[in-house]
Amino acid sequence: MKSPFFSARMVLNNCPFAFFRIGFYLRSLGRDDTPDYFYLASLLHEASRTVKRKQKPEPVNFDKIIAENNLLERNFF
């Protein structure tokens, strides 16, 4: 469904290009057409691989996690 307020470019600003292809494909379907779910899944898989390649693993700070957990426990009990 098209939005009268937000364009696809604005909504999908930081998303992988595969999301634009998904949107274009879905808009091209007719009312009685059955989507090609395998094609959509392959586009989602492509988007996932694109995002994983761009992400840098964040170092885990166990001391910070333990301190936050202790604070939450103290506030809870």
pTM here is: 0.57
Residues 6+ apart with CB under 8 A from 44: 18, 22
The pLDDT tens digits for 8-43 are: 677 777 778 888 899 889 989 999 999 999 999 999
Where are the chain's structural domains?
Answer: 8-76
The pLDDT tens digits for 34-70 are: 999 999 999 999 988 888 777 666 777 778 888 888 8
19: number of Cβ within 10 Å: 16
pLDDT value of position 13 = 73
Backbone angles phi, psi at 47, to 5 degrees: -65, -40
